[in-house]
Chains A and B, each alone.
Chain A
Amino acid sequence: MYFYDDIDRAMVKDRVAEFRGQVGRRISGALTEDEFKPLRLMNGLYLQLHAYMLRVAVPYGTLNPNQLRVLASVARDYDKGYAHVSTRQNFQYNWPKLQDVPDILDRLADAEMHAIQTSGNCIRNTTTDAFAGAAADEVEDPRITCEVIRQWSTFHPEFTFLPRKFKIAVSATEHDRAAIQVHDIGLQLVRNAQGEPGYKVLVGGGQGRTPMIGEWVRDFLPQAELLSYLEAILRVYNLRGRRDNLYKARIKILVSEMGLDAFRDAVEEEFAHFRALGPGGSVDLPAAQRQQIAAFFTPPDFEALSADSLAFERAKADDAAFAAWVRTNVHAHKQPGYASATITLKADGIAPGDITDVQLEAVADIAEHYGMSDIRTTHEQNMVLPHVKLDDLYAVWKALAEDELATANHGLISDIIACPGLDYCNLANTRSIPVANRIQERFTNLERQATIGELKIKISGCINACGHHHVGHIGILGVDKKGEEFYQLTLGGSADQHTSIGEIVGRGLSTDQVVDAVERVVELYLSLRTSEDERFIDAYRRLGAQPFKEALYEQAA
């Protein structure tokens, strides 16, 4: 992973000192709240319903054990003993006190973490595949690109006050696990006919109140020209994006209002300008520097192992619970004898994405002993140990189970994305987490979940769609009806390489109706699927909305 150099260290420490001064001036009365608010937001500090919320950046979701232990210590010393993984692969604390935040940031800075650009109208954390560096079919480790983007976009003076926030995601595999089609910019690493690496570039995807799937603006962008091209896109957006209407300020609206061709032409014009400025363009990264960054992501020292592990096979045969976890939570690795393991943060009754201080430390220990000290967070609010020997998987599973981290439900109906909703969020219409918990409770039997197979439920407490409901196989959107909580179901969304926006299938359902409605949809799917291999989303695409609509509403009245 990337390690700070002296410049990074000094920059982050300076920023903490600056914020310490700003907090002090707010408390002394030298700054009003109106003056202070944008400053605290630039340091990731929101004010929610009950308390401040601090969002800590986890660049492209990569962490080491020391960082996890520091995150755990912050949870213990300054919060209520837990932290929360967000859908941007970041960590959030729900209860910090204002005067403690500079100390928290100092502690994070010592472990090479910060909260810069986790809020505000700037370029946010670039996200990627949680299996980066482990996936068999990746063109190269996508985190190299993410780190290049991180260095370019951090404190970029031109892009500090964009019309709206800006999110970039990178995938290096054909199978998209980074939801690149619903980002402001999505980059897919590819090779051209000559075998050279480059990018397919998507622009204008997004969720929120106007969900849109990104449009391809470039089929092949040479790797060396990435920053010129990104800078061109951002410049067009910065100059032409709407600032008169908050709801029309994202780049997706600009692309749709300009039309794809006109937008592309404008970008190409800016791009040509940059390219004309010199070899490699004015902002492109010299090859030597890219190599320096790439060196941080050289694969760890994998052992030469056989693709088969007798110990692993024996453990699976002897322990059905382990075998079930392997089926759902263990993924193929490019290196023979290794696997990646997902740690779902979706145990029954827990807020999706929550993890306690003790659990964080347990994951740190396990990663250190068995996981080459590499840990990832995922946009599905889970964590991943990307590099585990097959020989060690049984020990890993047992260690995870000791801290209730071994639920065998990755990708299943209880592996729900849910935004904080009205339990925490100032903008919420309805609660999200209790709905997730009630669905988990209804489908608590893991065998039943396994029978249902892959089914992604995503829940947002308002139209801002932080819970990604638009791209849930079953999406649930909370709406306020005269002060009562109602839930609008969408069906058929998906966030992979076949991204689709879910269809609204009818009127909102009351809190009491929503779990029954989900169950009816699931039961209908089970009765209609052609085989166990036909996933919910496949069946929905084959059958269309109608039968599901009928099942949903005929009994919900």
Chain B
Amino acid sequence: MSQTLQTQPAPSAPAKIATGGVKKGRNEGAKVITANHLFSGGVVYWTEDGSWTEDLSEAIIVEGDAALVELARAKADEANSVGPYLMDVSEQAAPAGRARLRETIRHDGPTIHPQFARRVVGA
């Protein structure tokens, strides 16, 4: 492996990250790791104990380098998820930032067909 590849990015330089869809974002602010579940395709969030939950309030909120570390862990869990990425959240763990609407729709279900709204167990 070359030297260049081994060099870690300086912590002060926010890493460019995928934020889902086709958009790119910067790793700044509070994040939750989200993905689709391998079997159902349903929206899931990464928890502190290294598993996935459908309940956003149970997700681990991470920032900065810690977010990238957790993202790497989540990505390693290919057996359960597809395409983990970091999404912006508010302090109350609600979808935030540019992709707020997208993540709100992922969380709640389509805004049409209200009968298909996502029911989070225990929510």
Question: What residues of chain B lie closer than 8 Å to A33, measured between beta carbons?
Answer: 78, 82-83
Q: Using A97-B41, A431-B111 as known contacts, say yes or no to A50 and B78 having CB atoms under 8 A apart.
A: no
Interface size on A, residues (CB 8 A): 33
Across the two chains, which residue of chain A brings its CB closest to B103? Answer: A49
A385 contacts the other chain (Cβ, under 8 Å)? no
Q: Complex formed: what's the CA distance from A105 to B36 in Å?
A: 22
A27 within 8 A of B: yes
Q: Give the complex CA separation of A103 and B69 in angstroms.
A: 38
Give every chain A residue within 8 A of B78 (Cβ-Cβ): 29, 32-33
Report the separation of the CA atoms of residues A480 and B99 in the bound assembly, to the nearest whole angstrom.
Answer: 10
- Inter-chain contact B38/A27, CB cutoff 8 Å: yes
Contact B97 A434 (CB under 8 A): no
| Contact status A47-B112, CB under 8 Å | no
Cross-chain contact B116 with A80 (CB below 8 angstroms): yes
Q: In the bound complex, how far is the Cα of B99 from the Cα of A50, in angstroms?
A: 15
Which of B21, B42, B97, B112 contacts A50, CB < 8 Å? B42
Main secondary structure of the interface of A (DSSP, over half): loop
Main secondary structure of the interface of B (DSSP, over half): loop
Complex alpha-carbon distance, A167 and B83, angstroms: 29
Q: Complex formed: what's the CA distance from A47 to B42 in Å?
A: 10
Bound Cα distance from A64 to B78, whole angstroms: 41
Give complex CA distance A47, B85 in Å. Answer: 15
Interface presence of A455 (CB below 8 A): no
CB-CB contacts of A18-30 with B at 8 A, as 1s and 0s?
0000000011010
A29, A50, A480: the one contacting B41 at CB < 8 Å is A50
Knowing A33-B83, A351-B113, A427-B21, the reply to whether A97 touches B39 (Cβ < 8 A) is yes
Q: Which residues of B contact A431 (CB under 8 A)?
A: 105, 111
Give chain A residues whose Cβ lies under 8 Å from the Cβ of B39. 27, 97-99
Residue from the list A80, A99, A422, A426 in contact with B101, Cβ < 8 A:
A422
Q: Please give, as numbers and ranges, the residues of chain A lying within 8 Å of B102 by CB-CB distance.
A: 49, 422, 428
Which residues in B have their C-beta under 8 angstroms from that of A32?
78
User: Quick check: B22 and A483 within 8 Å, CB to CB?
Assistant: no
The answer to whether the Cβ of A433 comes within 8 Å of any Cβ in the partner chain is yes
Considering residues B38, B82, B110, B111, which has the most beta carbons from chain A within 10 angstroms of its beta carbon?
Answer: B110
Q: Which residue of B lies closest to A464 (CB)?
A: B22
Judge whether A52 is part of the interface by a CB distance below 8 angstroms.
yes
B residues 11-60 touching A (CB-CB < 8 Å): 20-22, 36, 38-43
Q: Mark B77-121, 1 if CB is under 8 A from A, else 0.
A: 011001100000000000001111110011001111100101000
Extra A-B contacts (19), CB below 8 Å, given A49-B105, A50-B41, A423-B110: A26-B38, A27-B38, A29-B78, A29-B79, A32-B78, A33-B78, A47-B36, A47-B41, A48-B41, A51-B36, A98-B38, A351-B113, A422-B101, A423-B111, A428-B102, A431-B111, A434-B111, A483-B99, A485-B101
Residues in chain B within 8 A of chain A (CB atoms): 20-22, 36, 38-43, 78-79, 82-83, 97-102, 105-106, 109-113, 116, 118
